[in-house]
Amino acid sequence: MQQAPLLTLTPTGGRNASPSIRATAFVFEDPRSRLLRRELEQLAPSEASVVIIGETGTGKELVARYVHEQSKRVGPFIAVNCGALTETLVEAELFGYEKGAFTGAIQSQLGWFESANGGTLFLDEIGDLPLHLQVKLLRVLQEREVVRLGSRRSIPVNVRVIAATNVDLDAAVAAGRFREDLFFRLNVAPVHLPALRERPGDILPLANHFLGTYSQRLERAKLKLSPAAERQLLQYVFPGNIRELENIVHYAVLVARGDAIAPEDLRLTAPRLDRSGASEDATLEEQVRALTARHSGTASLFERVTDSLVLSVFEANDRNQVRTAAVLGVSRNTLRTHLARLGLIDSRRAAAPKASVAGTAVATNS
């Protein structure tokens, strides 16, 4: 079968924007990904708001960039991680502020909505937005205008909003954590992004993309994946999705001794499955049953398995958050959120540094 092309996306969103290696290419090799591509191409020319739903690390920002580039919008693509901003910062970041609006506001500054005028604003982790700001966001979407902090003047904006979440917004609405009217306003065109384990046809093209990039950076141009390493990648469940795959390949390039990456160079840390749906190890099904029984109060089997994996890796790394996040292939912010939910650390969110140049994209953890 001929391999589908690796699509390169243009970095947009300000002169300082520099997407990661993971955010520079998109693969549509797997049949599910091809269906997704057709869906995105249908949605892109419209002005409809889009909500991208998918696990952490599946490439939600990449999907948003693709929709933007396939649209008719000529303005910038700007990405903002709502989960990385404190409640005191997020309003000023989104809507801007006037000089003297608060202590430290020594000059007026555009918010992300004004900076994205004519383009697309990607709001990652939209489920983390505080309720009182959800009201203001709803008003911006309805009236297509913003009011800066410290001002009474409305400023018209022409922005398409694409939101993303790895949480169940329906459940968040039912629990009162997310406004139903905002949910309906954003959820005009929902896009469900499959986990990497659900689109195995994308695994090797992505792995080879990362291999080519990192081997070039590390001056190991002849390096390739051995057939045995390819088989292991295809059997791996990838709890951290594309971000984890990138980290696995990067590490393998660093430690590989010959011209071919061997299975032991991959440092795989989670159970492996064959693609027929049966477990590779005879005990895997028993382990899942044990997890189900042990964590019967958790909402879903996926959450039970994920909680157990995070806890095991956290303990195996002596509760070191940096090492645990690296092994799992997730950001430290994502890990802290999960650990706080499990009650293993205090729930507190560090303030993200303010950008000094309006229009500069904020890195996301999609």
Give the pLDDT confidence of 39-75 residue by residue, as tens digits. 999 999 998 999 999 998 899 999 999 999 999 999 9
Question: By 3-state DSSP, what share of the chain in percent is helix, strand and coil, each rounded to 5?
Answer: 45, 15, 40
The answer to whether the beta carbons of residues 284 and 271 sit under 8 Å apart is yes
Chain mean pLDDT for the chain: 80
Instruction: Find the range with the poorest average confidence among 16-30, 98-112, 320-334.
Output: 16-30
Q: Is the pLDDT of residue 275 over 80?
A: no
The Cα–Cα gap between 148 and 102 comes to: 12
Would you say the C-alpha torsion 169, 174, 177, 183 has a positive or negative sign? positive
- Closest by alpha carbon to 242, among 272, 267, 205? 205
- In the chain, what are the domains? 6-194 (3.40.50.300), 200-265 (1.10.8.60), 284-341 (1.10.10)
**What are the φ/ψ torsions at residue 214 (nearest 5 degrees)?**
-75, -35
Quick check: helix, strand or coil at residue 117?
Answer: coil
Average pLDDT over residues 259-268: 92
Can you tell me which residue has the tokens 């046809």?
A: 201
Can you tell me which residue has the tokens 């409305």?
A: 154
Average pLDDT over residues 94-109: 85
- Closest by alpha carbon to 5, among 161, 237, 206, 274? 206
Q: What is the pLDDT of residues 128-183, one digit of tens each?
A: 888 888 999 999 999 999 999 888 899 999 999 999 998 888 888 998 999 999 99
Which pLDDT score is estimated for 250? 94
